[in-house]
Amino acid sequence: MDNEEKVAILDIIQALRSTNSKLEKLRILNENGDYIPWLDYLVDVYDPFVTYGVSGNKNDLQDDLHNLQLCRSVNAGITAVSINKAYPNLIPSASKMMKAYDYGKKARPIPDEGGFWVGVKYDGNYVNIVCSEAGGVQFYTSGGHQYTHEVKLNLREGYVYTAERIHGEGKLGDRRRCSLEGPKGAKFAKIDNHYKIFDVVTIGDFNCDLAIEDYETRRTLIPPEYAGTERWCETLEEAEAWLDELIRLGYEGIMIKLGSLRWRNSKSRKVDCIKWKKRLTADLYCIEELEGVGNSQGIIGSIRLRDAAGLEFSVGSGLSLNGDLPFGSYINNVVEIGYEHINPEGTYVQPVVLGIRRDKPKNDID
């Protein structure tokens, strides 16, 4: 890169720093989309699969392009995600993930001939840990945002590890203790958070969106000190028995994987990778029906419920599954909800209306 190119790139960076408007930043990016040295520099800075062996000085981010490159940020309020909005697919994505089929929501059978691997489903945050060929380790959220974590991981170079960042044992409700901290663009994980790795693929396979090796082979590459608890089950009945045991211990559920599973970057949920949870339920008293807004105007948008302890809250999720019932259908009736858990403040987490319990008296609530 010659001096003229350096000056031009610094001018673009200063222009990006001069505004807090996302739209204006996008305009500046689009305006410079044909300047190849700028695009090359962005790749050098933000490519998650390239590391440089040393870190930059984050206290000196103003006008040293090499230092910015080592810091993996131009310090101008842009990320790989926002860069790819302006220049599609310029920065390789580290946010790829394989969706798991949610058992119980659809009537698709789970193939259980020959058995499968069953692992604990931890209540944490899904992450990708990129270990480059040069030995650098980078952390990415499921949304593709990079964060830092002051931990030392003994992981094999040249692989992407998919994991759950958890607090404690990763039991139901622990997720609230593993949220990232810090300002936007400089997020970091709490020092007491740690990882449970549940899959691993080569960087090459990750970039190609499909693993060559099956899960039976890939699972042997997970270092034992980071591997989640997993066991082999021959039947669904055996898996469900362990699921019930884990729920009693406070865990969220289980993950089922066929040995033939090949990791793929896909939002399509296949039955060779299944998550299985059993939501808790409660019967509560409906004290109010609230009209919806927008497209839901004129119909019930949410209902207000009260439990036996006197806690009141509103819930709208699940109403449409029961049909657009007329006003007066829920009020003064017992309503069954499903929920993930009750947090220490007594709040029902992710409540969903399951139906009206017309068979229950008003004083028979949870």
Return left, alpha or beta for 75; rule: phi > 0 is left, psi -120 to 50 is alpha, else beta: left
pLDDT at position 303, please?
93
The pLDDT tens digits of the residues spanning 253-269 come to 999 999 998 888 876 66
Q: Are 183 and 154 in contact (CB under 8 A)?
A: no
* Fold agreement between 98-277 and 280-356: no
pLDDT at position 151, please?
93
pLDDT at position 107, please?
43
Question: 362 Cβ partners below 8 Å, 6+ apart?
Answer: 285, 332, 333, 334
DSSP state of 224: T
Residues in the chain: 366
Asked if pLDDT for residue 149 goes beyond 90, the answer is yes
The pLDDT tens digits of the residues spanning 205-239 come to 998 888 999 999 999 999 999 999 999 999 889 99
Confidence of residue 150 (pLDDT cuts 50, 70, 90): very high
How far apart (Å, rounded) are the C-alpha atoms in residues 87 and 248?
A: 49
Asked if pLDDT for residue 91 goes beyond 60, the answer is yes
How far apart (Å, rounded) are the C-alpha atoms in residues 56 and 66?
A: 8
Q: Which residue has the higher pLDDT, 307 or 268?
A: 307
Question: 196 Cβ partners below 8 Å, 6+ apart?
Answer: 120, 122, 124, 163, 164, 166, 170, 226, 227, 228
The pLDDT tens digits of the residues spanning 308-331 come to 889 999 998 888 776 778 899 999
Structural domain 98-277, CATH architecture: 2-Layer Sandwich (3.30)
Segments making up each domain of the chain, as ranges: 3-86, 98-277, 280-356
280-356 adopts what CATH topology? OB fold (Dihydrolipoamide Acetyltransferase, E2P) (2.40.50)
pLDDT at position 271, please?
66
Mean pLDDT to the nearest integer, 109-119? 79
The pLDDT mean for the chain works out to 85
Helices 3-17 & 22-31 angle (0-180, nearest 10): 160
pTM for the model stands at 0.66
Asked if pLDDT for residue 336 goes beyond 80, the answer is yes
pLDDT at position 270, please?
67
